[in-house]
Structure 1
């Protein structure tokens, strides 16, 4: 039975400026320059400080009728939707900017390498479209991390093209045949199978390795070697030869992309610079490649003139006026969003420096205090999600190295003596214990907990397990090695 009812909901809507700020907070300095360039290309109202897009127009003779001149400029703008790209120049770094050798990447990226291989295949227009979307969703390790149906939805939404799942899977098989072997796999099992298929499957050893991965992958990951030997009817010593063959495969095919001509060298460009001046930390933003922006005077004056003469405008002129207003608003929002981004970044990073003051003076990791997102949120009166966005994918350059902001965050616990220590210290001890263990008899979580307790760290076994997982270290059984 259908029933109608009234319901009140309290919804918070974000303004265009708020949305811009949130998006810009998430991206690091390495991507900000490109984001500004994109905005300059699509919005002619926006221009670089010190440069003018209207210099050529200023040299032309002034029209006798101001309204006619403005109308012509508007019409030209409406007819020409392809705005030329303008070169970004670093105009706002100060004379004492010490980052003269800020690294940059050049060459062909891993994804461009994959795209280039499309030209070696005979693909229809639809297949090429699907292939580009699939490649765009392959991560740096070489894996396809999104579901096929999600990629199909993306294509439908952005390109208005309906794709059948079977069609997308056929294209995925083509991409999975690209180099490096194993690229485009959706999980480790598929990745290893794709690599083994490239080898000589007439070789009995390769055949058995493929069979093991295809039918006994779970036992393989759990190192249940006795079960594999029994189920595959293997002779003594045969399993080790098969495992050696599997261990030759690359679990991260993207990382094997090491051609010096085609591989992009990954450099870290710091978002913040920390210097020590007069014995005190001094923080600054790395704004070297972030140009100053402004609103085009020509377009803002044009808009004011047209607003003053609204009565006698045609429908087309009114629509053009509205269009320019939208572009002006968009440019103002973008400029304000960039300023708010920079202010928020500095506010958060300065709070981190103040909180970890002693650490930043010397870089002594033992002076790194336990600190969580909430600590910085409370100090800055910002939301935890905002602090998280600032901390994600951002780096700071100090006199003792370059660090991701996430490095400075860690939980804390107390020792038997009541001293509060960072969990990073505990994790370092765990890692040292595991690196030096006897791989024939790896240390269990219980034994690791006892070792920590002997060092005055009162930690339960389940906490040890959590820290071990955060370090991406498998359980003791999976660390056992055949001799």
Structure 2
């Protein structure tokens, strides 16, 4: 078989995810905090991108001076190797009236073409992320405040150990005990294991352990729940033999609310056993978590919804995002490109494309977020007026069809973004839920049904708590058809105890 080399031309079509499209999709699913960080990074990296000074925002004279810079002579598409979409966009900018393009660049606003909508309608992207918002705005005087370092459980216990124990070998035993504690503050290791680890007699280990049992938080280094509660009982200086007996010998019955068994064993009326149970409930079953450092997550709303003159208004939160423009200085340099070397011109044109893309993507994100939130508000007006029990079932497709985008676009918009409403702060995806059949013909949202279940349980008679079947019947009386097993499922999701464990005597 003869082998030879030859040239061949082929014509084909394929979809290419350009850097501009990738940035647009990434920015669309960013919450405000993440977007602020991105803008700050771009401002540091791209010299052609700059914030609009406050004076320029308020001065029409400054805008006119920037607007006098013409882009007609920049030939942005020349020798850049950019994709066809970029060249078309540059051409549309160059053909615009001079004053309009100057004002748009100065104010950081660029008119959007219909073709740009298609960049957000790719159904092939199946990777979504929910990025947590963090951070909070602070005034200048807050920088003067001194924030103390959080004290960990281990640091606090070691401090108490150094005070309570004088001998070094006992401190070594104490440190071995502290190293063996789990996150709840319990000691899973046995005395024999600790003795082998430290090389000390078990009697010495037990003596140091009793010293640690006197540390704060009370109940630390206990080896069981009963021991933990008993340590707290003595730390509070209590003198109730019946309570101590319950703690020592009837914890399992108490956990399962088998009060009859406890009453027979202690020969007490049920009402007194209930009082003992209420007293035990005041104790801390996990003493380690009282000093476990927790990080507070601060949420900055991405959208605000409020009622103004009888109408629901939507406002996208862009307070932390600086208004951007193309640097007039570098635009003037590009006008005189004949005085610059080829590499400098190529670099400036590439940075100009990047800056324009960023400004355009920010504006597109804002418009898409506004339109999606506006449609959510239109469909959930009763929720805004009356609360969660009036939340309607809604799917991504319901919003996507009205807004005119793909479902994946709506998914990117609602993930990780929060809206501030008169009913509270909610993640946008909270408003999307499945529906249950009702007698009125309109489906009821599963979240609204769960809220009704919570309401019924909160208002029930503690002595005669409602069964799942009874709750199902009460919901049917309200026109909502919910099976008993569905009620049990919702109850488990909300962490509501079964009927037998909610009963009080």
**Which interval holds the TM-score relative to the shorter structure?**
0.5 to 0.7
2:371 counterpart residue number: 347
1:49 counterpart residue number: 52
CA distance in 1, matches of 2:368, 2:485: 37
1:369 counterpart residue number: 392
Q: Displacement of 1:245 after TM fit?
A: 4.5
**1:26 lines up with 2:33 in the alignment:** no
- 2:186·2:222 contact (CA, 8 Å) conserved in 1? no
Q: Displacement of 1:399 after TM fit?
A: 6.1
CA distance in 1, matches of 2:313, 2:354: 34
2:262 counterpart residue number: none
1:20 to 1:418, Cα distance in 2 relative to 1, 3 A: same
1:288 counterpart residue number: 319
**1:476 lines up with 2:498 in the alignment:** yes
Q: Displacement of 1:299 after TM fit?
A: 2.8
Q: Displacement of 1:294 after TM fit?
A: 1.2
The worse-fitting range, judged by mean Cα deviation, of 37-46 and 189-198 is 189-198
Q: Displacement of 1:376 after TM fit?
A: 0.6
Mapping 1:414-433, distance limit 5 Å: 414-433=437-456
- 1:16·1:333 contact (CA, 8 Å) conserved in 2? no
Q: TM-score, normalised by structure 1?
A: 0.52
1:297 counterpart residue number: 328
Aligned length: 334
Q: Displacement of 1:400 after TM fit?
A: 6.7
- 1:348·1:380 contact (CA, 8 Å) conserved in 2? yes
Mapping 1:117-132, distance limit 5 Å: none
- 1:442·1:479 contact (CA, 8 Å) conserved in 2? no
- 2:184·2:288 contact (CA, 8 Å) conserved in 1? yes
1:326 to 1:113, Cα distance in 2 relative to 1, 3 A: farther
**1:272 lines up with 2:334 in the alignment:** no
> Is the partner of 2:447 in helix, strand or coil?
helix
CA distance in 1, matches of 2:444, 2:308: 26
- 1:200·1:206 contact (CA, 8 Å) conserved in 2? no
CA distance in 1, matches of 2:348, 2:463: 72
Q: Displacement of 1:387 after TM fit?
A: 1.6
CA deviations on 1:264-301 (whole Å, 9 max, x unpaired) are: 9x575452344434x43343333334332112233344
1:381 to 401, 404, 423: 404
List alignment gaps of at least 5 residues for structure 1.
1-9, 56-90, 93-102, 121-174, 182-188, 215-222, 230-234, 258-262
Q: Displacement of 1:366 after TM fit?
A: 6.1
> Is the partner of 1:329 in helix, strand or coil?
helix
1:51 to 1:426, Cα distance in 2 relative to 1, 3 A: closer
List alignment gaps of at least 5 residues for structure 2.
1-12, 57-61, 63-106, 109-135, 159-180, 190-208, 228-249, 257-264, 267-272
1:225 to 252, 259, 271: 252
CA deviations on 1:439-466 (whole Å, 9 max, x unpaired) are: 6886554454344345442212342244
1:368 to 1:332, Cα distance in 2 relative to 1, 3 A: same
CA distance in 1, matches of 2:212, 2:379: 59
CA distance in 2, matches of 1:406, 1:479: 33
CA distance in 2, matches of 1:18, 1:200: 64
Q: Displacement of 1:49 after TM fit?
A: 2.2
- 1:274·1:396 contact (CA, 8 Å) conserved in 2? no
RMSD: 5.3
1:460 counterpart residue number: 483
CA distance in 2, matches of 1:358, 1:476: 32
CA distance in 2, matches of 1:353, 1:104: 27
Q: Displacement of 1:422 after TM fit?
A: 2.9
1:206 to 1:398, Cα distance in 2 relative to 1, 3 A: closer
1:130 counterpart residue number: none
- 2:463·2:504 contact (CA, 8 Å) conserved in 1? yes
- 1:45·1:299 contact (CA, 8 Å) conserved in 2? yes
Mapping 1:184-333, distance limit 5 Å: 190-193=182-185, 201-202=212-213, 206=219, 209-212=222-225, 225=252, 245-247=283-285, 249=287, 266=298, 268-269=300-301, 271-277=303-309, 279-303=310-334, 305-306=336-337, 318=343, 323-333=347-357
> Is the partner of 1:206 in helix, strand or coil?
coil
Q: Displacement of 1:45 after TM fit?
A: 1.8
